[in-house]
Amino acid sequence: MKRVVVIGAGMAGARVAEELRQGQPDPALLAVTVLGSEPEAPYNRIMLSHAVAGGPAGGPAPTARLKPQGWWARNHIRLRTATPVRCIDRVTREVELADGERIAYDHLVLATGAAPRVPPIEGILAPDGALKPGVSTLRDAADARGLTAHLSAHPGPVALIGGGFIGLEVACALAAAGHDVVVVHPRAWPMNGCLDAAGGAVLVRALGALGVRVVTGARATRWDGSVLTLGDDDEVDCRTVVLTAGSGPRTELARAAGLEVGHGVVVDDTLATSDRAISAIGDCAQHRGVVSGLVAPAWDQAVTVAARLTGADPDARYTGGTTVTRLKAFGLDVVALGEVAEDVFADGPGGASGADGPGAAPEITTICEPARGRYARVDVSCGRVVGAILVGHPEPVGILTQVYENALPVPDDVLSVILGRAEAVAAPTPSTMPAAAVICRCNGVSKGDLVAAWGDGARDRSALVERTRAGTGCGGCTSAVDGICGWLREAG
Protein backbone atom coordinates (compact mmCIF):
# COMPACT_ATOMS: atom_id res chain seq x y z
CA MET A 1 0.00 0.00 0.00
CA LYS A 2 1.20 3.50 -0.86
CA ARG A 3 0.26 6.09 1.78
CA VAL A 4 -0.34 9.63 0.52
CA VAL A 5 -1.00 12.37 3.06
CA VAL A 6 -2.30 15.77 1.98
CA ILE A 7 -1.80 18.75 4.30
CA GLY A 8 -4.57 21.22 3.55
CA ALA A 9 -8.26 20.60 2.91
CA GLY A 10 -8.86 23.62 0.70
CA MET A 11 -9.77 23.56 -2.96
CA ALA A 12 -6.33 22.32 -4.07
CA GLY A 13 -6.04 19.65 -1.38
CA ALA A 14 -9.53 18.36 -2.04
CA ARG A 15 -8.89 18.18 -5.76
CA VAL A 16 -5.66 16.20 -5.47
CA ALA A 17 -7.36 13.71 -3.14
CA GLU A 18 -10.20 13.28 -5.63
CA GLU A 19 -7.78 12.77 -8.51
CA LEU A 20 -5.75 10.26 -6.51
CA ARG A 21 -8.78 8.12 -5.79
CA GLN A 22 -9.95 8.37 -9.39
CA GLY A 23 -6.52 7.25 -10.57
CA GLN A 24 -6.38 4.37 -8.09
CA PRO A 25 -9.84 3.31 -6.85
CA ASP A 26 -8.53 0.50 -4.65
CA PRO A 27 -7.92 1.76 -1.08
CA ALA A 28 -5.88 -1.38 -0.39
CA LEU A 29 -3.31 -0.14 -2.91
CA LEU A 30 -3.51 3.60 -2.21
CA ALA A 31 -4.43 5.13 1.14
CA VAL A 32 -5.32 8.82 0.98
CA THR A 33 -5.49 11.02 4.09
CA VAL A 34 -6.41 14.71 3.99
CA LEU A 35 -5.60 16.88 7.01
CA GLY A 36 -7.49 20.16 7.30
CA SER A 37 -7.11 22.71 10.08
CA GLU A 38 -10.65 24.07 9.63
CA PRO A 39 -13.66 22.30 11.18
CA GLU A 40 -15.52 22.35 7.85
CA ALA A 41 -15.30 19.78 5.09
CA PRO A 42 -13.73 21.23 1.90
CA TYR A 43 -15.82 24.06 0.47
CA ASN A 44 -15.76 26.61 -2.32
CA ARG A 45 -13.84 29.60 -0.97
CA ILE A 46 -14.78 31.64 -4.01
CA MET A 47 -18.29 31.98 -2.63
CA LEU A 48 -17.30 33.42 0.76
CA SER A 49 -17.87 37.02 -0.36
CA HIS A 50 -21.45 36.14 -1.33
CA ALA A 51 -21.96 34.29 1.96
CA VAL A 52 -20.99 37.37 3.99
CA ALA A 53 -23.73 39.44 2.39
CA GLY A 54 -26.23 36.59 2.22
CA GLY A 55 -27.43 36.15 5.77
CA PRO A 56 -26.71 35.97 9.49
CA ALA A 57 -25.08 32.52 9.41
CA GLY A 58 -22.04 33.46 7.33
CA GLY A 59 -19.50 30.88 6.26
CA PRO A 60 -20.01 28.36 3.48
CA ALA A 61 -23.58 27.32 2.70
CA PRO A 62 -24.28 23.62 2.05
CA THR A 63 -24.26 24.36 -1.69
CA ALA A 64 -20.67 25.58 -1.34
CA ARG A 65 -19.40 22.16 -0.28
CA LEU A 66 -17.06 20.72 -2.87
CA LYS A 67 -18.51 17.25 -2.34
CA PRO A 68 -21.90 16.08 -1.05
CA GLN A 69 -22.36 14.69 2.43
CA GLY A 70 -20.68 11.31 2.85
CA TRP A 71 -18.70 11.47 -0.40
CA TRP A 72 -15.29 11.28 1.29
CA ALA A 73 -16.12 8.13 3.25
CA ARG A 74 -17.77 6.46 0.26
CA ASN A 75 -14.61 7.04 -1.76
CA HIS A 76 -12.34 5.74 0.99
CA ILE A 77 -10.59 9.04 1.57
CA ARG A 78 -9.79 9.72 5.20
CA LEU A 79 -10.73 13.34 5.76
CA ARG A 80 -9.73 14.77 9.12
CA THR A 81 -10.99 18.28 9.83
CA ALA A 82 -9.97 20.49 12.76
CA THR A 83 -6.58 18.78 12.56
CA PRO A 84 -3.69 21.27 12.40
CA VAL A 85 -0.21 19.95 11.65
CA ARG A 86 2.66 20.92 13.93
CA CYS A 87 5.65 19.76 11.88
CA ILE A 88 7.02 17.42 9.22
CA ASP A 89 9.64 14.78 10.04
CA ARG A 90 11.37 14.04 6.73
CA VAL A 91 13.67 11.42 8.26
CA THR A 92 10.89 9.14 9.48
CA ARG A 93 8.45 10.39 6.83
CA GLU A 94 5.81 11.36 9.35
CA VAL A 95 3.74 14.44 10.04
CA GLU A 96 3.14 15.41 13.64
CA LEU A 97 -0.24 16.84 14.56
CA ALA A 98 -0.85 19.55 17.13
CA ASP A 99 -1.91 16.94 19.70
CA GLY A 100 1.30 14.93 19.22
CA GLU A 101 -0.14 12.18 17.03
CA ARG A 102 2.13 11.15 14.17
CA ILE A 103 0.93 9.98 10.75
CA ALA A 104 3.28 8.16 8.38
CA TYR A 105 3.45 8.89 4.66
CA ASP A 106 5.14 7.50 1.59
CA HIS A 107 4.40 10.72 -0.26
CA LEU A 108 3.34 14.05 1.21
CA VAL A 109 1.44 16.76 -0.68
CA LEU A 110 1.56 20.31 0.69
CA ALA A 111 -1.61 22.23 -0.14
CA THR A 112 -1.37 24.69 2.71
CA GLY A 113 -2.68 27.64 0.72
CA ALA A 114 -2.06 31.27 1.56
CA ALA A 115 -2.55 33.59 4.51
CA PRO A 116 -4.05 37.09 4.25
CA ARG A 117 -1.63 39.99 4.50
CA VAL A 118 -2.19 42.40 7.36
CA PRO A 119 -1.04 45.90 6.37
CA PRO A 120 0.69 48.13 8.95
CA ILE A 121 -2.29 50.19 10.09
CA GLU A 122 -2.15 51.67 13.57
CA GLY A 123 -5.02 50.58 15.77
CA ILE A 124 -6.13 47.37 14.02
CA LEU A 125 -4.23 44.93 16.25
CA ALA A 126 -4.92 44.03 19.88
CA PRO A 127 -2.00 43.72 22.35
CA ASP A 128 -1.86 39.96 21.72
CA GLY A 129 -1.39 40.53 18.00
CA ALA A 130 -4.91 39.45 17.03
CA LEU A 131 -7.16 41.66 14.94
CA LYS A 132 -9.35 43.96 17.00
CA PRO A 133 -13.14 43.59 16.91
CA GLY A 134 -14.41 45.27 13.77
CA VAL A 135 -11.33 44.33 11.74
CA SER A 136 -11.52 41.20 9.61
CA THR A 137 -9.86 39.29 6.83
CA LEU A 138 -11.88 37.03 4.54
CA ARG A 139 -9.87 33.91 3.85
CA ASP A 140 -11.93 31.17 5.46
CA ALA A 141 -15.33 30.28 6.85
CA ALA A 142 -14.46 31.50 10.35
CA ASP A 143 -13.62 34.92 8.90
CA ALA A 144 -16.95 34.96 7.09
CA ARG A 145 -18.90 34.08 10.22
CA GLY A 146 -17.11 36.69 12.29
CA LEU A 147 -17.56 39.42 9.70
CA THR A 148 -21.24 38.59 9.21
CA ALA A 149 -21.88 38.72 12.95
CA HIS A 150 -20.09 42.06 13.30
CA LEU A 151 -21.97 43.60 10.38
CA SER A 152 -25.24 42.46 11.90
CA ALA A 153 -24.39 44.20 15.16
CA HIS A 154 -22.75 47.25 13.53
CA PRO A 155 -24.50 47.94 10.20
CA GLY A 156 -22.62 51.18 9.59
CA PRO A 157 -20.10 52.06 6.84
CA VAL A 158 -17.52 49.50 5.76
CA ALA A 159 -13.99 50.20 4.50
CA LEU A 160 -12.09 47.61 2.48
CA ILE A 161 -8.30 47.87 2.35
CA GLY A 162 -7.25 46.69 -1.09
CA GLY A 163 -8.98 46.81 -4.46
CA GLY A 164 -7.99 43.48 -5.88
CA PHE A 165 -10.19 40.62 -7.00
CA ILE A 166 -11.40 39.58 -3.53
CA GLY A 167 -11.77 43.13 -2.26
CA LEU A 168 -14.04 44.17 -5.09
CA GLU A 169 -16.17 41.02 -4.86
CA VAL A 170 -16.75 41.67 -1.16
CA ALA A 171 -17.37 45.38 -1.77
CA CYS A 172 -20.01 44.72 -4.43
CA ALA A 173 -21.71 42.07 -2.31
CA LEU A 174 -21.88 44.37 0.72
CA ALA A 175 -23.09 47.32 -1.35
CA ALA A 176 -25.83 45.14 -2.85
CA ALA A 177 -26.85 44.19 0.70
CA GLY A 178 -27.31 47.87 1.56
CA HIS A 179 -24.01 48.76 3.22
CA ASP A 180 -22.15 52.02 2.66
CA VAL A 181 -18.86 50.80 1.17
CA VAL A 182 -15.50 52.48 0.52
CA VAL A 183 -12.52 50.72 -1.07
CA VAL A 184 -9.07 52.14 -0.28
CA HIS A 185 -6.44 51.09 -2.82
CA PRO A 186 -2.79 52.20 -2.91
CA ARG A 187 -2.39 52.01 -6.70
CA ALA A 188 -3.71 54.31 -9.41
CA TRP A 189 -6.64 52.00 -10.21
CA PRO A 190 -8.19 48.84 -8.74
CA MET A 191 -7.23 45.38 -10.04
CA ASN A 192 -4.06 47.02 -11.34
CA GLY A 193 -2.40 43.62 -11.72
CA CYS A 194 -4.96 42.61 -14.35
CA LEU A 195 -6.29 45.80 -15.94
CA ASP A 196 -4.73 48.66 -17.85
CA ALA A 197 -5.30 52.31 -16.94
CA ALA A 198 -8.31 52.78 -19.23
CA GLY A 199 -9.98 49.62 -17.98
CA GLY A 200 -9.28 50.64 -14.39
CA ALA A 201 -10.87 54.06 -14.91
CA VAL A 202 -14.02 52.51 -16.36
CA LEU A 203 -14.12 50.02 -13.50
CA VAL A 204 -14.01 52.81 -10.90
CA ARG A 205 -16.93 54.49 -12.62
CA ALA A 206 -18.90 51.25 -12.80
CA LEU A 207 -18.26 50.57 -9.12
CA GLY A 208 -19.52 54.04 -8.26
CA ALA A 209 -22.78 53.28 -10.06
CA LEU A 210 -23.16 50.23 -7.81
CA GLY A 211 -22.65 52.27 -4.65
CA VAL A 212 -18.97 51.45 -4.09
CA ARG A 213 -16.71 54.46 -3.63
CA VAL A 214 -13.07 53.87 -4.56
CA VAL A 215 -10.21 55.94 -3.15
CA THR A 216 -7.07 55.24 -5.19
CA GLY A 217 -3.45 56.20 -4.61
CA ALA A 218 -4.00 56.17 -0.84
CA ARG A 219 -2.88 54.05 2.10
CA ALA A 220 -4.68 53.65 5.39
CA THR A 221 -2.49 54.62 8.34
CA ARG A 222 -4.74 54.53 11.43
CA TRP A 223 -8.13 53.30 12.65
CA ASP A 224 -9.66 54.37 15.96
CA GLY A 225 -12.75 52.18 15.85
CA SER A 226 -14.91 54.58 13.90
CA VAL A 227 -12.63 56.61 11.60
CA LEU A 228 -9.99 55.34 9.16
CA THR A 229 -7.24 57.88 8.51
CA LEU A 230 -5.45 57.85 5.16
CA GLY A 231 -1.92 58.94 4.40
CA ASP A 232 -2.98 62.38 3.17
CA ASP A 233 -5.01 62.94 6.36
CA ASP A 234 -8.26 62.22 4.54
CA GLU A 235 -10.72 60.37 6.75
CA VAL A 236 -13.22 57.61 6.08
CA ASP A 237 -16.01 56.93 8.56
CA CYS A 238 -16.33 53.18 9.20
CA ARG A 239 -17.20 50.82 12.03
CA THR A 240 -15.91 47.85 10.05
CA VAL A 241 -12.57 47.35 8.27
CA VAL A 242 -12.05 44.39 5.95
CA LEU A 243 -8.45 43.61 5.00
CA THR A 244 -8.28 42.46 1.38
CA ALA A 245 -4.72 43.57 0.69
CA GLY A 246 -3.56 40.31 -0.84
CA SER A 247 -2.11 37.15 0.64
CA GLY A 248 1.16 35.29 0.98
CA PRO A 249 1.93 31.57 0.64
CA ARG A 250 1.82 29.52 3.85
CA THR A 251 5.34 28.14 3.91
CA GLU A 252 6.03 27.77 7.63
CA LEU A 253 5.82 23.95 7.68
CA ALA A 254 7.99 23.62 4.57
CA ARG A 255 10.59 26.08 5.83
CA ALA A 256 10.80 24.40 9.24
CA ALA A 257 11.25 21.05 7.49
CA GLY A 258 14.24 22.38 5.56
CA LEU A 259 12.60 22.45 2.13
CA GLU A 260 13.67 25.06 -0.41
CA VAL A 261 11.44 28.09 -0.05
CA GLY A 262 11.44 31.29 -2.08
CA HIS A 263 8.29 33.35 -2.21
CA GLY A 264 6.51 29.98 -2.01
CA VAL A 265 7.58 26.36 -1.68
CA VAL A 266 9.85 25.85 -4.70
CA VAL A 267 8.74 23.03 -7.03
CA ASP A 268 9.83 21.74 -10.44
CA ASP A 269 7.66 20.66 -13.39
CA THR A 270 6.76 17.45 -11.56
CA LEU A 271 5.55 19.61 -8.64
CA ALA A 272 8.21 17.96 -6.45
CA THR A 273 9.93 20.04 -3.79
CA SER A 274 13.61 19.75 -2.89
CA ASP A 275 12.55 16.49 -1.19
CA ARG A 276 11.27 14.09 -3.88
CA ALA A 277 8.90 12.50 -1.37
CA ILE A 278 7.08 15.80 -0.95
CA SER A 279 5.07 17.78 -3.53
CA ALA A 280 3.47 21.20 -3.25
CA ILE A 281 0.49 22.59 -5.16
CA GLY A 282 -1.78 25.60 -5.18
CA ASP A 283 -1.28 28.93 -3.43
CA CYS A 284 1.71 27.71 -1.42
CA ALA A 285 3.73 26.47 -4.41
CA GLN A 286 6.26 28.47 -6.45
CA HIS A 287 6.61 27.03 -9.95
CA ARG A 288 9.11 28.57 -12.36
CA GLY A 289 9.32 31.57 -10.06
CA VAL A 290 5.57 32.14 -9.99
CA VAL A 291 2.95 31.67 -7.27
CA SER A 292 -0.29 31.76 -9.23
CA GLY A 293 -2.90 32.38 -6.51
CA LEU A 294 -5.66 31.16 -8.84
CA VAL A 295 -7.84 28.08 -8.59
CA ALA A 296 -7.48 26.72 -12.13
CA PRO A 297 -3.66 26.32 -12.00
CA ALA A 298 -3.97 24.63 -8.60
CA TRP A 299 -6.34 22.06 -10.05
CA ASP A 300 -4.06 21.48 -13.03
CA GLN A 301 -1.22 20.88 -10.58
CA ALA A 302 -3.38 18.46 -8.61
CA VAL A 303 -4.05 16.45 -11.78
CA THR A 304 -0.31 16.28 -12.53
CA VAL A 305 0.65 15.10 -9.04
CA ALA A 306 -2.11 12.49 -8.94
CA ALA A 307 -1.21 11.14 -12.38
CA ARG A 308 2.38 10.61 -11.28
CA LEU A 309 1.58 9.07 -7.90
CA THR A 310 -1.07 6.65 -9.20
CA GLY A 311 0.96 5.66 -12.26
CA ALA A 312 -1.74 6.88 -14.63
CA ASP A 313 0.94 9.05 -16.27
CA PRO A 314 4.36 8.69 -14.61
CA ASP A 315 5.81 11.29 -16.97
CA ALA A 316 3.17 13.97 -16.30
CA ARG A 317 4.52 17.50 -16.12
CA TYR A 318 3.04 20.88 -15.21
CA THR A 319 4.54 23.60 -17.37
CA GLY A 320 2.18 26.42 -16.47
CA GLY A 321 -1.21 27.32 -17.81
CA THR A 322 -3.32 30.09 -19.20
CA THR A 323 -4.30 32.93 -16.91
CA VAL A 324 -8.00 33.72 -16.65
CA THR A 325 -9.28 36.01 -13.92
CA ARG A 326 -12.98 36.71 -13.61
CA LEU A 327 -14.71 39.07 -11.21
CA LYS A 328 -18.35 38.00 -11.14
CA ALA A 329 -19.83 40.41 -8.65
CA PHE A 330 -23.29 41.80 -8.07
CA GLY A 331 -24.02 43.87 -11.18
CA LEU A 332 -20.43 43.81 -12.46
CA ASP A 333 -18.53 41.48 -14.78
CA VAL A 334 -14.77 41.87 -15.26
CA VAL A 335 -12.58 39.38 -17.12
CA ALA A 336 -8.83 39.45 -17.73
CA LEU A 337 -7.13 36.91 -19.99
CA GLY A 338 -3.36 36.43 -20.29
CA GLU A 339 -1.20 39.53 -20.26
CA VAL A 340 -1.72 42.77 -22.13
CA ALA A 341 1.09 44.94 -23.45
CA GLU A 342 2.10 48.13 -21.69
CA ASP A 343 1.66 51.63 -23.14
CA VAL A 344 -1.42 50.95 -25.24
CA PHE A 345 -1.24 54.26 -27.02
CA ALA A 346 2.54 54.53 -27.23
CA ASP A 347 2.27 54.74 -31.02
CA GLY A 348 -0.68 57.11 -31.10
CA PRO A 349 -4.45 56.86 -30.56
CA GLY A 350 -4.68 53.76 -32.75
CA GLY A 351 -2.67 51.72 -30.26
CA ALA A 352 0.56 49.83 -30.67
CA SER A 353 1.15 48.03 -33.94
CA GLY A 354 3.96 46.44 -35.86
CA ALA A 355 5.07 43.47 -37.88
CA ASP A 356 3.16 40.33 -37.05
CA GLY A 357 5.95 38.05 -35.90
CA PRO A 358 7.63 36.70 -32.78
CA GLY A 359 8.54 39.50 -30.43
CA ALA A 360 6.54 42.08 -32.40
CA ALA A 361 4.17 44.43 -30.63
CA PRO A 362 0.64 42.99 -30.58
CA GLU A 363 -2.26 44.43 -32.53
CA ILE A 364 -4.54 46.07 -29.97
CA THR A 365 -8.26 46.65 -30.40
CA THR A 366 -10.17 48.68 -27.78
CA ILE A 367 -13.72 49.88 -27.19
CA CYS A 368 -14.23 52.36 -24.36
CA GLU A 369 -17.69 53.50 -23.19
CA PRO A 370 -17.19 55.02 -19.71
CA ALA A 371 -20.75 56.32 -19.41
CA ARG A 372 -22.07 52.79 -19.88
CA GLY A 373 -19.43 51.21 -17.64
CA ARG A 374 -18.05 49.21 -20.57
CA TYR A 375 -14.50 48.67 -21.74
CA ALA A 376 -12.98 46.01 -23.95
CA ARG A 377 -9.46 45.40 -25.12
CA VAL A 378 -8.01 42.47 -27.05
CA ASP A 379 -4.31 42.00 -27.81
CA VAL A 380 -3.55 39.73 -30.77
CA SER A 381 -0.15 38.44 -31.80
CA CYS A 382 0.51 36.03 -34.67
CA GLY A 383 -3.23 35.61 -35.13
CA ARG A 384 -3.79 34.47 -31.53
CA VAL A 385 -5.25 36.24 -28.50
CA VAL A 386 -2.44 36.86 -26.00
CA GLY A 387 -4.36 39.13 -23.64
CA ALA A 388 -7.78 40.66 -23.15
CA ILE A 389 -9.65 42.89 -20.73
CA LEU A 390 -13.43 43.01 -20.58
CA VAL A 391 -15.28 45.32 -18.19
CA GLY A 392 -19.07 45.19 -18.47
CA HIS A 393 -18.76 43.27 -21.77
CA PRO A 394 -20.16 39.79 -21.00
CA GLU A 395 -21.13 38.97 -24.62
CA PRO A 396 -17.72 37.84 -25.93
CA VAL A 397 -16.41 36.31 -22.68
CA GLY A 398 -17.20 32.70 -23.59
CA ILE A 399 -15.78 32.89 -27.10
CA LEU A 400 -12.66 34.85 -26.16
CA THR A 401 -11.90 32.53 -23.23
CA GLN A 402 -12.13 29.41 -25.39
CA VAL A 403 -10.16 31.04 -28.22
CA TYR A 404 -7.45 32.15 -25.78
CA GLU A 405 -7.19 28.91 -23.81
CA ASN A 406 -7.07 26.73 -26.92
CA ALA A 407 -4.85 29.12 -28.97
CA LEU A 408 -7.42 29.25 -31.78
CA PRO A 409 -7.02 31.77 -34.64
CA VAL A 410 -9.05 34.96 -34.51
CA PRO A 411 -10.33 36.89 -37.55
CA ASP A 412 -8.78 40.11 -38.78
CA ASP A 413 -11.90 41.94 -37.63
CA VAL A 414 -11.37 41.54 -33.90
CA LEU A 415 -14.02 44.19 -33.29
CA SER A 416 -16.67 41.76 -34.46
CA VAL A 417 -15.61 39.32 -31.75
CA ILE A 418 -15.77 41.99 -29.04
CA LEU A 419 -19.27 42.91 -30.17
CA GLY A 420 -20.35 39.33 -29.61
CA ARG A 421 -20.80 38.20 -33.19
CA ALA A 422 -20.08 34.54 -32.57
CA GLU A 423 -20.13 33.67 -36.24
CA ALA A 424 -17.05 35.82 -36.79
CA VAL A 425 -14.75 33.27 -35.19
CA ALA A 426 -14.42 29.52 -35.33
CA ALA A 427 -15.40 29.16 -31.68
CA PRO A 428 -15.36 25.68 -30.24
CA THR A 429 -18.74 23.98 -29.97
CA PRO A 430 -19.68 21.30 -27.43
CA SER A 431 -18.70 18.68 -29.99
CA THR A 432 -15.33 20.21 -30.91
CA MET A 433 -14.01 21.54 -27.61
CA PRO A 434 -11.50 19.22 -25.89
CA ALA A 435 -12.59 17.08 -22.95
CA ALA A 436 -10.15 18.97 -20.70
CA ALA A 437 -11.79 22.34 -21.45
CA VAL A 438 -12.86 23.86 -18.12
CA ILE A 439 -16.56 24.74 -18.17
CA CYS A 440 -17.11 25.71 -14.52
CA ARG A 441 -14.07 27.44 -13.06
CA CYS A 442 -15.60 27.84 -9.61
CA ASN A 443 -15.81 24.06 -9.15
CA GLY A 444 -13.20 22.87 -11.64
CA VAL A 445 -15.66 20.99 -13.86
CA SER A 446 -14.45 20.14 -17.35
CA LYS A 447 -16.40 19.06 -20.41
CA GLY A 448 -15.08 15.56 -19.75
CA ASP A 449 -16.55 15.62 -16.23
CA LEU A 450 -19.97 16.52 -17.61
CA VAL A 451 -19.78 13.82 -20.26
CA ALA A 452 -18.76 11.24 -17.64
CA ALA A 453 -21.62 12.25 -15.35
CA TRP A 454 -24.04 11.96 -18.27
CA GLY A 455 -22.73 8.47 -18.97
CA ASP A 456 -23.24 7.58 -15.30
CA GLY A 457 -26.94 8.41 -15.51
CA ALA A 458 -27.19 12.18 -14.93
CA ARG A 459 -29.43 12.67 -17.95
CA ASP A 460 -30.69 16.25 -17.56
CA ARG A 461 -29.31 19.62 -16.53
CA SER A 462 -30.40 19.43 -12.88
CA ALA A 463 -28.86 15.97 -12.52
CA LEU A 464 -25.60 17.15 -14.13
CA VAL A 465 -25.45 20.10 -11.75
CA GLU A 466 -26.16 17.89 -8.73
CA ARG A 467 -23.51 15.37 -9.77
CA THR A 468 -20.74 17.80 -10.77
CA ARG A 469 -21.77 21.09 -9.05
CA ALA A 470 -21.20 22.93 -12.34
CA GLY A 471 -23.02 26.26 -12.24
CA THR A 472 -23.35 26.39 -8.45
CA GLY A 473 -20.60 29.00 -8.12
CA CYS A 474 -20.78 32.42 -9.74
CA GLY A 475 -23.24 31.25 -12.41
CA GLY A 476 -21.11 32.44 -15.31
CA CYS A 477 -21.02 28.99 -16.91
CA THR A 478 -24.77 28.37 -17.00
CA SER A 479 -25.13 28.81 -20.76
CA ALA A 480 -22.13 26.54 -21.43
CA VAL A 481 -23.57 23.80 -19.22
CA ASP A 482 -26.90 24.14 -21.02
CA GLY A 483 -25.14 23.86 -24.38
CA ILE A 484 -23.29 20.69 -23.44
CA CYS A 485 -26.43 19.20 -21.94
CA GLY A 486 -28.29 19.85 -25.20
CA TRP A 487 -25.47 18.39 -27.25
CA LEU A 488 -25.39 15.23 -25.12
CA ARG A 489 -29.17 14.86 -25.39
CA GLU A 490 -29.07 15.17 -29.19
CA ALA A 491 -26.17 12.71 -29.39
CA GLY A 492 -28.34 10.17 -27.60
Mind listing the pLDDT tens digit for each residue in 33-65?
Answer: 999 999 999 998 888 887 887 655 566 666 688
Q: How many other CB atoms sit within 10 Å of the CB of residue 364? A: 22
Q: Taking 60 as the threshold, does the pLDDT of residue 346 lie above it?
A: no
The domain made up of 2-39+81-115+249-310 is a member of CATH 3.50.50.60:
yes
- DSSP assignment, residue 120? -
Nearest to 162 by CA among 140, 189, 143: 189
Q: How many other CB atoms sit within 10 Å of the CB of residue 473? A: 22
CATH fold match for the domains 2-39+81-115+249-310 and 135-245: yes
Q: How many other CB atoms sit within 10 Å of the CB of residue 463? A: 15
- DSSP assignment, residue 132? P
Domain boundaries, the chain: 2-39+81-115+249-310, 135-245, 339-424, 438-491
Architecture of domain 438-491: Orthogonal Bundle (1.10)
Greater pLDDT, 149 or 491: 149
Exposed (0-12), middle (13-18) or buried (19+): which is 377, by Cβ within 10 Å?
A: buried
Kindly state which CATH superfamily the domain 135-245 is placed in.
FAD/NAD(P)-binding domain (3.50.50.60)
Residue-wise pLDDT tens digits, 411-439: 778 888 888 765 545 556 787 777 777 78
Topology (CATH level 3) of domain 339-424: Enolase-like; domain 1 (3.30.390)
Q: How many other CB atoms sit within 10 Å of the CB of residue 241? A: 23
Q: Decide if 10 contacts 60 (C-beta within 8 A).
A: no
pTM: 0.89
Q: Decide if 184 contacts 85 (C-beta within 8 A).
A: no
CA-CA distance, 442 to 278, in Å (whole number)?
Answer: 27
Strand-pairing partners, residue 286, are 266
Residue-wise pLDDT tens digits, 193-217: 999 999 999 999 999 999 999 999 9
